[in-house]
Chain A
Amino acid sequence: MSAGDGFDATPGDGARPAGDGTPLLYLPGIAGHPASSPVLDALAAVGWDVVVPTIPGLDGRSGFHVPEDYLSWLVVVWDALDATGALPCPVVGASLGGMLAADLAVLRPEAVTALALLAPFGIFDDAHPGLDLYAVPTADRMSHLFAKGVPEPFVERFADLGPEDGPVARYLCDVAAANLLWPLGDRGHARRLHRVRCPALVLWGDQDELLPVATSEAWSEHGLPVEFVPGAGHLLEWDEPDTVASRLVEFVVGLPVGT
């Protein structure tokens, strides 16, 4: 598990340092990336060197200023991804990380050898709008991301920073995520997904409150195969780690060597 030179890893984001194996990039979801993930462990166990870049802002670090538009965001994110030295490689993106990963595959096809998306944002379904997370009182938001309770790593995230800095870091993480997703989480992906050229897989929790399963149809209509994970909410890799891990392992194991 490694990070390339210049990778701006921070303890707050739980970034995983890089090693010497074949890299696989994981872009975390709407609530950032706490310390550990059974799914990433499973991918590492089959030999992938899982790299988790710090998405600027999602680390909750003080002093981050949000970019003024989505294109500027992509530049910021791509700078962080390139700094890992992992690309080109398979990319797994969850939630808003899936939105960013899909655009990486669309706009820089040479950088993504395979694409796995876990309930990605990027397309808003007018007929199935889902829950507006940012119109939920702050203290209640986290519970809507999961179908089976908030996992301990998310509860404890930033707790070590203390009663003042901890909530501020959590707020700043929300600021970055909300800025990427405001107001609908639609960045026009439906108009460009046809440009995905690499092997792709989309997994979707059937209990997702933010992106109802009907939203997934737009992804499958544009050529990305969608599979559902029963009993899982929006951050499905935390609700059903075994199911998601086995399917992802199956997907990446099937990839040609050296991808």
Chain B
Amino acid sequence: MEGVKLLWFHLMPYPELPEDFNRTHRSVWVDIDPGLFQPEVVADCYQRYVEQLVYAEQCGFDGICVNEHHGNGYGLMPSPNVIASVLATRTSRAAITVLGNSVALYNPPVRVAEEMAMVDLLSHGRLISGFPVGTSMDTAYAYSVNPGNLRQKYLEGIDLILKAWTATEPFAFNGRFTQMRYVNVLPRPLQRPHPPIWIPGGGSVETWDLCSTRDYVYAALSYYGHLMAKETVAGFWRRVEENGKDPNPYRLAFLQFIGVADTDQEAYRLYREPAEYFFNRSLHVYPGYADPPGYVTEASARARYQSQVRAVVRAKQAKHDLTWDEMVEKGYIVLGSPDTVRETLEDVARTFNCGHLLTMLQFGNMSDELTRYNSKLFGEKVAPGLRDLFADAEDHWWPANAVAA
């Protein structure tokens, strides 16, 4: 029997940005002052964060997730594959969910095919391979990839990787962006024909179509919670239907920040500081990095100009002066006792028809103690109440050897 999958997602944030960061610095991304990062602190973070991911498996989570950011103060994983390789050998059951690699950043993209194959082998077939286009900050600015060609390059890269994983003999690849006389990726992944493909995305029509037509999982990764994501999720399912595909709930993954405590009041008290740190300090991104010409297609640009409501919301987000009550009220974080959280998440999962719930139980400068408390409580008292959801649907997008809790 299947059942909703619960995954534990880590951004690996730098936890010691100054309190006045959003007033004294331009951006947490791209041109953030490197002097803010103490190597000793980062080293400790890596140790602590890896242990938290390992602990998540012990708490009963079905998968553990890492992702990719560059020049970023809230995501210290420029190479998620490095962390994933550690997790592959430190865990035994959970799906190793790598929601990097931004394919267009790597030349040639077979490097991605090679490293992901290694992680799949190291984990004995537990890899979920995520292929994000990548944010504008990561791609156009931190890596200077031409935004006007980014998506074409990305799609070509995915084609090359999939062929490299499945071809029965060496082949030549004559692409527009990559040309290779000999493609022969060795070793190949353990999972055949290849690990499941998940596509993290923020709401572009093109990504919805890519996922629905090619049968990839769409991972809706907004940091702004379930209320804000309704439009995105509805858009995805609309394209699934229009592309003639079934509404299998496992086509979708959704990310939600969560804070669990014994009571609603206690949760309100406990998670305020790390949430304020994350939303008002870590998401302080200079607006100039948000809109490189060509990053979105004409269709998505048109959709954006049609959606004035969302523009207003985004303008508010960009201010980074949200109050704690606003964060809670707007659903950025699902907060409360185990029953409160379970009820909300059950409603979200049903409403969204979402079979893969990506839980963000560590965020901002949350302490190790609170992270473990949050994770343990979720695993023991929230997760069991969600397990029966979508038990009748079949998850075609789960790694061959990852064992659900």
Contacts and interface: CB of A to CB of B under 8 A. Distances in A.
A182 B141 CA distance: 10
B291 A138 contact: yes
B55 interface: no
A243 to B, nearest CB: 31
A9 B388 CA distance: 62
A62 B302 CA distance: 11
A211 interface: no
Nearest to A182: B146
A138 B147 CA distance: 15
A75 B260 CA distance: 60
A178 B294 contact: yes
B148 A171 contact: no
Interface in B280-300: 286-294, 298
A168 interface: yes
B293 A178 contact: yes
Contacts of A164: 302, 305-306
Contact of A137 (B177, B291, B305): B291
B293 A134 contact: yes
A63 interface: yes
A142 to B, nearest CB: 13
A68 B176 contact: yes
Contacts of B213: none
A183 interface: yes
B141 to A, nearest CB: 7
A71 B30 CA distance: 29
B351 interface: no
Contacts of A175: 148, 293-294
A178 B147 CA distance: 8
Interface string A46-84: 000000000000000011001010000000000000000
B288 A135 contact: yes
Contact of A171 (B30, B287, B301): B301
B144 interface: yes
B152 interface: yes
Contacts of A85: none
A172 interface: yes
B146 A183 contact: yes
A177 to B, nearest CB: 7
A66 B291 CA distance: 17
A13 interface: no
B149 interface: yes
Interface string B125-156: 00000000000000011001011110010000
Interface string A171-194: 110111111001100000000000
A168 B292 contact: no
A177 B289 CA distance: 17
B103 to A, nearest CB: 16
Interface of B: 30, 140-141, 144, 146-149, 152, 176-177, 286-294, 298, 301-302, 305-306
8 contacts: A66-B294, A135-B30, A137-B287, A138-B291, A167-B301, A178-B292, A179-B147, A179-B149
Q: Kindly list the 3 A-B residue pairs having the minimum CB-CB distance in the complex, ordered from nearest.
A: A179-B148, A174-B293, A183-B144
